[in-house]
Structure 1
Amino acid sequence: MKIGFIGCGNMGGAMMHGILDSGKCTPQELMASDALEKALEARKEEMGILAAKDNKETAAFADVLFLAVKPQYYQSVIEEIRDTVSMDQILVTIAPGKTLEWLADQFGKPLKIIRTMPNTPAMVKEGMMGMCPNENVTAEDMETVRDICSGFSKTEIIGEHLMDVVTAVSGSSPAYVFMFIEAMADAAVADGMPRAQAYTFAAQAVLGSAKMVLETGKHPGELKDMVCSPGGTTIEAVRVLEEKGMRSAVFEAMKACVKKSRDM
């Protein structure tokens, strides 16, 4: 299986690391290209992958081709590789707002395209990825791509009408969580805890709490109630979070994120 990446920045690099570390292909079966020659050379030295001279070479090489560039570069990249790609390949996109219909119009011919939305926890092999195939993608094709991506992420097949929601709830949400961790750590520092220790306590609390949701199957509200003893410290903190509008702030932030994704 030959895998290609057009774009090898933070997201593309994380995905490539996960694919190689999990043995989904060898470095000589993975080719990348990037507009920044310095970034491409760094990935080649770091992982031992093949470095293409241009995007056309990567497109011609790959059985599965990931378009891992920012949304504003999709049109120019597609123009460059349009005549090179074919129905023998599977194309995987990661750009918010770029619909399957838009992609089909840009390529101007029938292709197998899977629209996805990964997130940065792929860098530590704990990613979450929504996936949506077009009508040319077979069940076998989907399993091939899901297997490749399992090296860095959990995957779920969803309807395209939910892709912008995926952007808000998992694609962009690591930023919200980082802000929460930072705020908790700042508060701990204000009360005398050393900075490095504060980040460890806050981050591990978030990690453990998320694991409880996933592994117990309990509703988050039920798990919250388990911590809130009558008249205790936790319910007092929860009262203040409710007073300050934490839920509303998160709700409105995600609504804004979905709107921005749909408008891109």
Structure 2
Amino acid sequence: MKVGFIGTGSMGSILIEALIQSGALEPEQVTAINRTPQKAQLLAAQYEGLHVASTIAEVIEHSHIVFLCIKPMEYKKVVDEIAQCDRPDLILVSITSPVLIEHLESQLKCKIAKIIPSITNYVWSGASIGMYGSRIQTEDRLLLEQLMMSISRPIQISEEYTRITSDLCSCGPAFISFFLEKWVEAAVEVTGIDKKEATRLACEMVHGTGKLLTEGGFTPEQLKQRVAVPGGITAEALRLLQNQLEGVFHQLIQVTHAKYEEDLEKVHHVFYGQEVNRPQY
């Protein structure tokens, strides 16, 4: 199996490195291109055998599966280039949430899928969200899931839930890291604890909590109840969080969805030259 990558920025390079380091792909199976060639060449220098292409057509020619790891507003130009060398057996995988499967299927004749990865996939953990177009056959879906299973837990969803699942799986690490960062900062300021020590403790806590929730059989509600003894310190602190964070997660979802709809409208206009009806949240 030959896999191509158009774009080797943050997420593109994470996918390439994770798939190679996990053993899912050998460097010789990977062809990559980036608009800044030096970025792709750095990966080739790190993983001997990885091929750096000079054109998108070259990536398509050498690949059975191609991941599109580019920004939303770059898609139309790249898709126009792909259309010149498109073929029905090619599996094209978009990793960008505001670009819809219908956008790509309307322009190309190949098989279209959308997979939203997470930075957690870099350590072969977390979920990857899969959505599949009308031309994807069962064997195609299984092939993609087998590939992603080496670095994640593939979960298939309906495309209408792209944004909220991306919030939870892809944006979530940043949200959790922000919470930890502020908590550690406060711990240092109030108590004088060494920042590195506090950060290590907090990170180990998150690691262990994740294992309890994924391997230990706990739901978030069960784990909260297990730790927060009635009348105890944790329960008192949770009461504070409940009061102070009232409504903030609804606002968070509204913000991410509003930005998504703004980006979706821009992409839709680039592909079709018209506005898209935006749902209200």
Question: More relative contact order in 1 or in 2 (CA 8 Å, sep 6+)?
Answer: 1
Change over 3 Å in CA distance of 1:179–1:215 after alignment to 2? same
Question: Is 1:65 equivalent to 2:66 in the alignment?
Answer: yes
**Partners in 1 of 2:14 and 2:23 — Cα distance?**
14
Give the secondary-structure state (helix, strand or coil) at the position aligned to 1:97. Answer: coil
* Amino acid aligned to 2:87: S
* Amino acid aligned to 1:139: T
**Partners in 1 of 2:75 and 2:21 — Cα distance?**
28
Query: What number of residue pairs does the alignment pair up?
Result: 261
Cross-structure match for 1:83: 84
Question: Could you state the TM-score of these two structures normalised by the residue count of structure 2?
Answer: 0.88
**Partners in 1 of 2:159 and 2:210 — Cα distance?**
26
Question: Could you state the TM-score of these two structures normalised by the residue count of structure 1?
Answer: 0.94
* Amino acid aligned to 1:169: L
* Amino acid aligned to 1:55: I
Structure 1 stretches of 4+ with a deviation exceeding 3 A read none
Q: What is the deviation of 1:248?
A: 2.2
| Superposed counterparts of 1:1-264, under 5 Å | 1-48=1-48, 49-107=50-108, 110-190=109-189, 191-245=191-245, 248-264=247-263
Give the secondary-structure state (helix, strand or coil) at the position aligned to 1:180. Answer: helix
Identity %: 26
**Partners in 1 of 2:22 and 2:156 — Cα distance?**
21
**Partners in 1 of 2:136 and 2:120 — Cα distance?**
27
**Partners in 2 of 1:227 and 1:13 — Cα distance?**
39
Asked if 2 retains the 8 angstrom alpha-carbon contact of 1:130 and 1:158, the reply is: yes
Stretches of structure 1 lacking an aligned partner (at least 5 in a row): none
Asked if 1 retains the 8 angstrom alpha-carbon contact of 2:22 and 2:124, the reply is: no
Asked if 2 retains the 8 angstrom alpha-carbon contact of 1:128 and 1:155, the reply is: yes
Give the secondary-structure state (helix, strand or coil) at the position aligned to 1:106. Answer: coil
Q: What is the deviation of 1:31?
A: 0.5
Asked if 2 retains the 8 angstrom alpha-carbon contact of 1:167 and 1:261, the reply is: no
**Partners in 2 of 1:71 and 1:4 — Cα distance?**
19
* Amino acid aligned to 1:130: I
* Amino acid aligned to 2:237: A
* Amino acid aligned to 1:53: S
* Amino acid aligned to 2:177: F
**Partners in 1 of 2:29 and 2:228 — Cα distance?**
52
Change over 3 Å in CA distance of 1:217–1:251 after alignment to 2? farther
Report the aligned-residue RMSD: 1.5
- Show CA shifts across 1:3-36 (max 9, x none): 1000111211111112112322221111000001
* Amino acid aligned to 1:14: I
Give the secondary-structure state (helix, strand or coil) at the position aligned to 2:127. Answer: strand
* Higher alpha-carbon deviation: 34-43 or 18-27: 18-27
Change over 3 Å in CA distance of 1:18–1:112 after alignment to 2? same
